[in-house]
């Protein structure tokens, strides 16, 4: 199977949303399409899709950030998704490696992402790509709760 990773365009939004629905098993939220368009507008080189035989089978949205939380210029993987029918075929790895090349060309000091610690397979996948646990801790609360 041949996989091509290319820049995402606005016409890919429907395929990206369909993959996300397949992964989550639920319809996408109304604002997701506008988030894709916003990402394409802000950072078009950080938005990629993977195709096989002309069909979009995966996507990744990444962006450059700096100064928040005293973090130096960094590349962030916002979301990566692969059609479940194509899991285990190296598509996520190809997307992340292509995005990593973009980040290196932008002279970022680190690449970061956020995942659920309880998803061991995902933790293992990112560790196999060289990611390590960060010194940052995610804190959360319910709105209105003290």
Helices (H), 26-119: 32-42, 91-105
Residue 94 and residue 50 in contact, taking contact as beta carbons nearer than 8 Å = yes
Q: What share of the chain is helix, strand, coil (3-state, %, to 5)?
A: 40, 25, 35
Q: pTM of this prediction?
A: 0.90
In this structure, the dihedral spanned by the alpha carbons of residues 44, 95, 131 and 112, taken in order and rounded to 10 degrees, is 10
Q: Give the pLDDT confidence score for residue 51 in this predicted structure.
A: 98
How do the pLDDT tens digits run along the chain, 146 residues long?
A: 899 999 999 999 999 999 999 998 988 887 888 999 999 999 999 999 999 999 999 999 999 998 777 888 999 999 999 999 999 999 999 999 999 999 999 999 999 999 888 888 899 999 999 999 988 888 889 999 88
Q: Locate 44 and state its tokens.
A: 């078009």
In whole angstroms, give the CA distance from residue 140 to residue 119: 18
């Amino acid at each position: 199977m041949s996989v091509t990773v290319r820049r995402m365009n606005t016409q890919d939004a429907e395929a990206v949303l369909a993959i996300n629905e397949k992964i989550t098993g639920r319809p996408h939220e109304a604002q997701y399409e506008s988030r894709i368009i916003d990402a394409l507008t802000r950072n078009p080189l950080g938005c990629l899709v993977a195709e096989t035989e002309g069909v979009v089978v995966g996507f990744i949205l990444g962006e450059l950030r700096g100064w928040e939380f005293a973090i130096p210029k960094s590349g962030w993987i916002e979301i990566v998704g692969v059609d479940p029918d194509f899991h285990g075929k190296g598509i996520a790895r190809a997307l992340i490696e292509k995005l990593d090349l973009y980040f290196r060309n932008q002279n970022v000091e680190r690449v970061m992402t956020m995942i659920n610690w309880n998803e061991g397979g995902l933790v293992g996948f990112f560790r196999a790509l060289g990611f390590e646990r960060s010194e940052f801790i995610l804190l959360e609360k319910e709105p209105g709760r003290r």
